[in-house]
Amino acid sequence: MNDTPVKQQNTAAYYGQAVASFAIALGAVSLGVLRLEADAWVRAFLAIAVLYLTTSAFTLAKVIRDRQEAGQIVSRVDQARLEKLLAEYDPFNAKS
């Protein structure tokens, strides 16, 4: 009954691909906003929107990760309590 979950680790290649993909996407959007043939206030508005979207995405990812980790901790505590109860229970020594 001791199912210890294996902590998943991302490979260096996966991490590098994620960082590169983010950098390329952010750079492409930034370049597009800068080269856009529009007034400066329109480009500034789009730049602020990209910045807000980026920070919101990071915050959402952190919240999802934190919620998942909290769920795993609660599950481990419940599992430990159950194992303790089962270890202490002796059906042949039950008092009626």
Query: Coil, helix or strand for 85?
Result: helix
The two structure tokens encoding residue 53: 């979207």
Q: What token pair was written down for 45?
A: 């508005």
Taking only the tens place, the pLDDT of each residue in 68-96 is 887 777 777 777 788 888 787 777 776 65
Write down the pTM of the prediction.
0.58
Q: In the structure encoding, which two tokens stand for residue 63, read together?
A: 């919240």
Percent of residues, the chain, with pLDDT higher than 90: 50
